[in-house]
């Protein structure tokens, strides 16, 4: 069932059997199933006061009925320690305690009310803040120590550990304190925090996206957040760096395409060119709210370069020189109505792409440039048309002229006689010269 949050949720029933007033702190609610509540109790030099955990039905027809009411002995708080009850996790059958002074955590079984495990002390900076939540069989914890830990709820073993390392000498905490974990689609979103930040703000504040199964960082971006909110696939947060509200998520794209030459001859290559651009409606604003760097029309950039690209546009960081665009596939619908791929290419940092191919048959072609989308952009496509003519017939080679009988026999013969006469004349003249006294 889906509830309208505008109307809230209310329940007015008689609890049976009744609970004492000190046992009515609500710890967890499962709509249309049950409410879990109880008290921490006490375990110190002054004696033991049993803690209590109870379950009350919310099922239709039995709302308010106490299903069970159990007691337990809480962890020792001797020596002035403060023990607090944390998460109650019905799905995994466990509930938890924490101590700020020792930075330790305890897990108890909801079935037996006995301790399941006790953690090692977390970072000393967690004295100033220890937070936790449950996700897919893991207790996820974080705090001022700058560590995001995932405990196996059953064994207490640390499944993974993510550390928000400092940037240069910006943080005097060692690691950068983190806060505000949100869970969505097997991802954890956290942000850098501090109780009372001074001006100018530290430059190591980031929003981070962490894989909830492995603890691997998927992306981060420069942003001093006060809190995070997720709705309809978008992450929204105020940024203290410029007092603007940012919305992170997948934006629309646009693809254009042209082909040259528009009319060509079979066997000639055709060059396909175009662009893929971001079409998001927002952008960077100045202090008066004027849009000075619109996102619409900026190049679509590959996911792996998105952080430096966004920081260039919004955080006054240097423009990345090695960024790449997105992959574009070129298809054709040829004159015989065959549809097939003729090439792939990647747009550059300006958003432009190019690819050439050689048409296989004459006729009219539809050329389609298609961007399938990415983690950062939705898909888009564009088309254009060309015409390919038949190869023109080659001009015949000139036919050599036919020689006549005179050219073949008489002319060479005359030329030979003339040569012979010249030779005889030259010999005669030579002999006459020799006979002279």
- The pLDDT of residue 427: 41
Band of pLDDT at residue 198, cut at 50, 70 and 90: confident
Which two tokens mark 33? Answer: 């199933």
Question: By mean pLDDT, which of 291-295, 336-340, 403-407 is the weakest?
Answer: 403-407
**Do 35 and 106 have their domain in common?**
yes
Please spell the DSSP secondary structure of 61-96, one letter per residue.
T-TTBEEEEEEEPPPP-TTT--EEEEEEETTTTEEE
Phi-psi region of 373 (alpha: psi -120 to 50; beta: other; left: phi over 0): left
Domain that holds residue 81: 1-113
pLDDT higher than 50, residue 269: yes
- The pLDDT of residue 323: 96
The half-sphere exposure of 311 on its side-chain side, counting CA atoms within 13 A, is 19
User: What secondary structure letter does DSSP report for 362?
Assistant: S
Asked, for residue 406, whether it belongs to a domain, the answer is: no
Q: How far apart are CA 307 and CA 297, in angstroms?
A: 18
The answer for residues whose C-beta is within 8 angstroms of residue 11's C-beta and 6 or more apart is 58, 63, 64
Q: Which of 288, 272, 264, 299 is nearest to 389 (CA)?
A: 264
pLDDT higher than 70, residue 395: no
**Do 180 and 267 have their domain in common?**
no
Separation in Å, CA 385 to CA 171, 259, 368, 370, 416: 58, 7, 9, 15, 69
Separation in Å, CA 387 to CA 49, 274, 333, 369, 381: 89, 19, 12, 17, 21
Mean pLDDT to the nearest integer, 421-430: 45
Mean pLDDT to the nearest integer, 397-401: 61
Question: By mean pLDDT, which of 312-326, 348-362, 384-398, 410-424 is the weakest?
Answer: 410-424
pLDDT higher than 80, residue 419: no
**Do 236 and 156 have their domain in common?**
yes
**Do 242 and 308 have their domain in common?**
no
Separation in Å, CA 216 to CA 131, 190, 223: 20, 13, 19
Q: How far apart are CA 194 and CA 289, in angstroms?
A: 27
With contact defined as beta carbons under 8 Å apart, do 349 and 237 qualify?
A: no
Going across the sheet that includes 244-248, the strands are 229-231, 234-239, 244-248
Q: Beta partners for 38?
A: 53
Question: What percent of the chain lies above the pLDDT cut of 90?
Answer: 74
**Do 152 and 202 have their domain in common?**
yes
Going across the sheet that includes 26-30, the strands are 26-30, 34-39, 51-57, 66-72
Asked, for residue 413, whether it belongs to a domain, the answer is: no
Helices (H), 187-329: 306-314
Q: Rg of the chain's alpha carbons, rounded to an integer?
A: 42
pLDDT higher than 60, residue 66: yes
- The pLDDT of residue 355: 97
pLDDT higher than 60, residue 302: yes
CATH of the domain at 373: 2.60.40.3880
pLDDT higher than 70, residue 157: yes
Asked, for residue 180, whether it belongs to a domain, the answer is: yes
pLDDT higher than 60, residue 421: no
With contact defined as beta carbons under 8 Å apart, do 265 and 388 qualify?
A: yes
**Do 56 and 131 have their domain in common?**
no
Question: By mean pLDDT, which of 72-86, 115-129, 190-204 is the weakest?
Answer: 190-204
**Do 270 and 380 have their domain in common?**
yes
**Do 227 and 197 have their domain in common?**
yes
**Do 229 and 312 have their domain in common?**
no
pLDDT higher than 90, residue 58: yes
Q: Is 80 exposed, middle or buried (0-12, 13-18, 19+ CB in 10 A)?
A: exposed
Torsion angles phi and psi, residue 401, rounded to 5: -65, 145
CATH of the domain at 203: 2.40.128.630
Phi-psi region of 297 (alpha: psi -120 to 50; beta: other; left: phi over 0): left
User: What secondary structure letter does DSSP report for 299?
Assistant: B
User: What secondary structure letter does DSSP report for 151?
Assistant: E
Which two tokens mark 70? Answer: 């159990």
**Do 136 and 101 have their domain in common?**
no
Q: How far apart are CA 121 and CA 108, in angstroms?
A: 17
Q: Mind listing the pLDDT tens digit for each residue in 85-114?
A: 999 999 999 999 999 999 999 999 999 999
**Do 282 and 331 have their domain in common?**
yes
Mean pLDDT to the nearest integer, 51-65: 94
The total of structural domains in the chain comes to 3
Instruction: Please say which residue of 113, 144, 175 terminates a domain.
Output: 113
Q: How far apart are CA 182 and CA 374, in angstroms?
A: 23
- Total Cβ atoms within 10 A of residue 278: 22
Give Dmax (Cα) for the chain.
168
Full-model pTM? 0.81
Mean pLDDT to the nearest integer, 162-173: 83
**Do 223 and 270 have their domain in common?**
no
Q: How far apart are CA 229 and CA 221, in angstroms?
A: 16
């Amino acid at each position: 069932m889906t509830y309208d949050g505008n109307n809230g949720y209310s329940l007015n029933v008689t609890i049976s059997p009744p609970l004492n007033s000190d046992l009515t702190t609500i710890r967890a609610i499962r709509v249309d199933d049950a409410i879990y509540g109880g008290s921490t109790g006490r375990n110190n030099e002054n004696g033991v006061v049993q803690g209590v955990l109870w379950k009350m039905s919310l099922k239709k027809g039995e709302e308010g009925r106490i299903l069970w009411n159990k007691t337990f002995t809480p962890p020792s708080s001797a020596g002035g320690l403060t023990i607090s009850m944390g998460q109650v996790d019905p799905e995994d059958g466990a509930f938890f305690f924490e101590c700020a002074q020792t930075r330790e955590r305890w897990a108890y079984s909801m079935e037996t009310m006995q301790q399941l495990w006790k953690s090692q002390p977390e970072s000393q900076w967690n004295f100033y803040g220890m937070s936790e939540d449950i996700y897919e069989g893991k207790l996820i914890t974080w705090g001022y120590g700058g560590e995001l830990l995932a405990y196996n709820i059953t064994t207490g073993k640390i499944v993974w550990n993510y550390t928000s390392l400092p940037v240069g000498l910006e943080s005097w905490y060692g690691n950068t304190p983190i806060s505000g974990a949100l869970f969505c689609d097997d991802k954890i979103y956290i942000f850098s925090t501090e109780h009372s930040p001074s001006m100018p703000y530290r430059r190591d504040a980031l929003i981070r996206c962490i894989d909830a199964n492995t603890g691997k960082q998927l992306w981060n971006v420069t942003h001093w957040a006060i809190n995070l909110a997720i709705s309809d696939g978008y992450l929204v947060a105020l940024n203290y760096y410029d007092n603007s509200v940012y919305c992170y998520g997948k934006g629309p794209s646009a693809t254009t395409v042209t082909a040259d030459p528009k009319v060509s001859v079979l066997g000639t290559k055709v060059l396909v060119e175009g662009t893929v651009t971001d079409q998001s409606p927002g952008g960077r604003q100045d202090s008066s709210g004027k849009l000075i760097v619109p996102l619409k029309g900026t190049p679509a950039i590959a996911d792996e370069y998105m952080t430096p690209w966004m920081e260039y546009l919004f955080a006054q960081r240097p423009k990345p020189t090695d960024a790449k665009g997105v992959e574009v596939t070129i298809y054709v619908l040829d004159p015989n109505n065959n549809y097939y791929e003729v090439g792939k290419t990647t747009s550059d940092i300006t958003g432009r792409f190019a690819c050439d191919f050689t048409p296989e048959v004459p006729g009219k072609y539809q050329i389609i440039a298609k961007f399938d989308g990415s983690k950062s952009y939705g898909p888009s496509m564009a088309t254009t048309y060309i015409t390919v003519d038949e190869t023109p017939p080659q001009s015949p080679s000139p036919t050599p002229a036919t020689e006549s009988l005179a050219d073949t026999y008489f002319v060479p013969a005359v030329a030979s006689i003339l040569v012979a006469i010249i030779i005889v004349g030259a010999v005669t003249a030579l002999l006459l010269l020799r006979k002279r006294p």
